[in-house]
Amino acid sequence: MTMTSSVLKTSEPAVPVPRHVAVIMDGNGRWASLRGRPRSFGHRAGLRSARRLVRASRRYRIEALTVFAFSQENWQRPDTEVRLLMQLFLHTLSKELKALRENDIRLRFIGEHSSFPADLRQLMRTAEAKTVRNGALHLTVAVGYSGRWDILQAAEACQRQGLVLNAENLEAHLQTAGLPSVDLLIRTGGERRISNFLLWPLAYTELYFTETLWPDFAEHDFVQALGWFAGRERRFGLVPEAA
Ligand code: IPE
Ligand code: IPE
Ligand code: MG
């Protein structure tokens, strides 16, 4: 598997771009608090930021983008915030579906969705079906997701099918099956943790942390992260000469 899929042309010399970028979009609440506004204000701004990231990823020919929108632990937030987030997901999805189709973006959701509102689940399935033939960018949205849960559900699937529990079989049953391994993880909002996002697929990922709060994360911040990634030496456990 090659590390790069294309070349990013900025005002700087062209740099290679990662095939698969994952993003923990954190800091919406703090962004709103700094402005004396409710957390919902931050989540709305966060969605606009997510839209910018998808467009930039498409333009820079990133092959796969996986974003963390709602964790299983986030269910424990106050009801009003959870309900607001569900409404925003529903609204955004219905609004953006046409643009995703037109821009050759394939949309998939990963996570445990049984507790999601029925209308949202239905729309998620419809959006996946309507973009299934697209391929310029594989956009995966992790909602109701937990990295530990993903590994467990994959192991259970192997067991049910009577498969030997080895790395290949487990990987084939993870929710991220079929996607290239994650080259670059970006987390905004200043925390340096994984918060139960992708665990298995992050084994050899380059980790980029920025203080920038998610709603402020602009295209130039993304370009900065890509530039940082281009300067990393990836060894995958080998010695430099042999890598
Ligand atoms: C990330 O922003 C979005 C979700 C988890 C849904 P937060 O809501 O965690 O914002 P902060 O971290 O409290 O600022
Ligand atoms: C991680 O952010 C989850 C998402 C961005 C969806 P959190 O705000 O939930 O993570 P912690 O609580 O800081 O670890
Ligand atoms: Mg947070």
Q: Does a structural domain hold residue 105?
A: yes
Q: Does a structural domain hold residue 235?
A: no
Q: Which domain holds residue 75?
A: 16-228
Atom nearest to 142 CA in ligand 2: 6
Active site residues per annotation: 26, 74
Please report the pLDDT score of residue 176 as a whole number. 98
Atom nearest to 213 CA in ligand 1: 14
Give the distance (Å) from ligand 2 centre to CA of residue 25. Answer: 8
- Is the pLDDT at 10 greater than 60? The verdict is no
Please report the pLDDT score of residue 13 as a whole number. 41
pLDDT band at residue 242 using 50, 70 and 90 as cut-offs: low
Q: Does a structural domain hold residue 240?
A: no
| Residue type at 127 in one-letter notation | A
- Is the pLDDT at 227 greater than 70? The verdict is yes
Is 53 a pocket residue for ligand 2 (Cβ < 6 Å)?
no
Please report the pLDDT score of residue 16 as a whole number. 81
To the nearest whole percent, how much of the chain has pLDDT over 70?
93
Mutate-to-test residue for ligand 1 from 23, 24, 25, 28, highest number of ligand atoms within 8 A of CB: 28
Q: Which CATH number is 124's domain given?
A: 3.40.1180.10
Q: Does a structural domain hold residue 234?
A: no
- Is the pLDDT at 151 greater than 70? The verdict is yes
| Residue type at 176 in one-letter notation | T
* Summary mean pLDDT of the chain: 94
Is 52 a pocket residue for ligand 1 (Cβ < 6 Å)?
no
Q: Stretch 12-29: mean pLDDT, rounded?
A: 87
Kindly identify the ligand whose nearest atom is closest to the C-alpha of 70. Answer: 2
- Is the pLDDT at 9 greater than 80? The verdict is no
- Is the pLDDT at 2 greater than 60? The verdict is no
Q: Does a structural domain hold residue 99?
A: yes
- Is the pLDDT at 1 greater than 50? The verdict is no
Is 229 a pocket residue for ligand 2 (Cβ < 6 Å)?
no
Q: Does a structural domain hold residue 243?
A: no
Give the distance (Å) from ligand 1 centre to CA of residue 164. Answer: 39
Please report the pLDDT score of residue 240 as a whole number. 83
pLDDT in tens, 88-110: 999 999 999 999 999 999 999 99
Residue ranges of alpha helices (H) inside the chain are 28-34, 39-59, 79-102, 118-130, 147-160, 167-173, 219-230
- The long-range contacts involving 224-232, CB below 8 angstroms and separated by at least 24 positions, are 225/184, 225/186, 226/8, 226/15, 226/17, 226/18, 226/60, 226/184, 227/10, 227/12, 227/15, 229/17, 229/18, 229/183, 229/184, 230/8, 230/15, 230/16, 230/17, 232/206
pLDDT in tens, 106-120: 999 999 999 999 999
Q: Does a structural domain hold residue 241?
A: no
Give the distance (Å) from ligand 2 centre to CA of residue 204. Answer: 21
- Is the pLDDT at 166 greater than 60? The verdict is yes
- Is the pLDDT at 34 greater than 70? The verdict is yes
pLDDT in tens, 39-87: 999 999 999 999 999 999 999 999 999 999 999 999 999 999 999 999 9
Q: Stretch 17-44: mean pLDDT, rounded?
A: 98
Q: Does a structural domain hold residue 130?
A: yes
Domain count, the chain: 1
Give the distance (Å) from ligand 2 centre to CA of residue 26. Answer: 6
